[in-house]
Amino acid sequence: MTSALNEGLIVFDDDGNEVVIPAGQVDELLVSLKDLSSVTVSACPACRSRVVACLALIETAFVSAHPSTCDLVDLAEEAPTLHLYVFDADTTCRHRGWHDPGFEEWSEAVEEHLAPARCIS
């Protein structure tokens, strides 16, 4: 991944393909997608980092008018697995309250695709 973003959301797949939502557009996108609540498989209770289901995201995105939804649909349609990963770059959250098995999946994806460029621990 080559994104140098330090704010906003990064949505990426297991191959490292990503869609970056700049900080100024995150709230609008989340409102249009109902905070991703209906597509979330697992999430940190303290920030916006989460694992989302590709098929559910595709279905939900069709009701959104946000400009980034087309990119998210393309990412979800081409994803090599059933999940996409959302990294909340606006936070320094340590995800200590995230206890379900999805946290391990998300952590591994972040470590593999984001940590080398961002030194995330």
Interatomic CA distance for residues 56 and 76, integer angstroms: 9
Strand partners of residue 21? 9
Per-residue pLDDT at 96: 95
Interatomic CA distance for residues 5 and 14, integer angstroms: 19
Per-residue pLDDT at 1: 40
Mean pLDDT by 10 residues, the chain (121 residues): 64 96 93 92 96 96 86 96 96 93 95 68 42
Phi/psi for 20 (5° steps) reads: -105, 125
Q: Cβ distance 74 to 62 under 8 Å?
A: no
Per-residue pLDDT at 117: 55
Per-residue pLDDT at 115: 72
Per-residue pLDDT at 49: 96
Give the C-alpha distances (Å, rounded to integers) separating 20 from 3, 14, 49, 50, 97: 8, 15, 13, 15, 25
CA quadruple 32, 33, 34, 36: dihedral positive or negative? negative
Provide the CA 57 distance to its chain's centre, in angstroms. 11
Per-residue pLDDT at 6: 61
